[in-house]
A = this chain, B = another copy of it.
Amino acid sequence: MTTAIRAQVESVPEETVSGQGTDPDADRAMLRTWLRMLACTNIIEGRVRGALRDNFNTTLPRFDLLAQLDASSVDAPDGLTMSELSRRLMVTNGNVTGLVNRLVNEGFVSRVVFPPDRRAQLVSLTPAGKRALDGMTPAHATWIREMFEGVSPHEQRELYRLLGRLKQSALTPTGRAP
């Protein structure tokens, strides 16, 4: 859940006139915004995790993997290799190995060697996996909808826009090496 710091945020000398360079007030504001975003994410993610566990006896990473396979079936109808899957899920190869092992055991995905390259394997949803995913998807959308209910459509658009700016900014390698 990765939270807190707060020290620098909640209590900071009211006017620590910085010799030069950066504004401590601005720093404090950024930290506050970051912590609030972290809190939001953790709250929502935690609720989704719990709901997946309670309603479908599964986990978020498994759901994500199934959803990714389904989404990818458009541009890769025969499935994805482990590497491609790990890239799309933005996790390491080793992580995907374990996840796929479990999902294969559960019968939700299949993993077959890719003849043209015997190192690689194609992972795809089984019919059971597709059914399971289709059962979870509407519920998932509902949970998200409920949690966003108090944010008006206009505010949501604005939030989306601002998060886009932030994402861009966070990805930009400001300081050192490119």
Report which A residues bind B (CB closer than 8 A): 1-8, 10-11, 22, 26-27, 29-34, 36-45, 47, 60-61, 63-65, 67-68, 70-71, 74, 88-91, 133, 137, 140-142, 144-151, 153, 155-160, 162-172, 174-175
**Is the Cβ of A137 less than 8 Å from the Cβ of B47?**
no
**Is the Cβ of B174 less than 8 Å from the Cβ of A29?**
no
Between A22, A27, A37, A158, the greatest number of chain B beta carbons within 10 A of the residue's beta carbon is seen for A37
Given contacts A47-B170, A71-B11, contact A145 B26 (CB under 8 A): yes
Given contacts A7-B70, A150-B166, 15 further A-B contacts (CB under 8 A): A2-B64, A5-B71, A8-B137, A8-B140, A22-B142, A33-B163, A37-B163, A39-B167, A41-B41, A47-B170, A147-B166, A147-B174, A149-B172, A151-B166, A155-B162
A73 — nearest CB in chain B belongs to which residue? B7
- Cβ contacts A to B, 19 pairs, < 8 Å: A1-B89, A2-B45, A5-B71, A7-B71, A8-B140, A22-B145, A26-B153, A29-B153, A29-B156, A30-B148, A33-B156, A34-B144, A41-B41, A43-B167, A47-B170, A148-B169, A151-B165, A158-B162, A159-B163
**Is the Cβ of B4 less than 8 Å from the Cβ of A71?**
yes
A140 — nearest CB in chain B belongs to which residue? B5
Complex Cα–Cα for A140 and B64 (A): 30
Complex Cα–Cα for A141 and B156 (A): 28
Given contacts A40-B37, A162-B159, A162-B162, contact A61 B31 (CB under 8 A): no
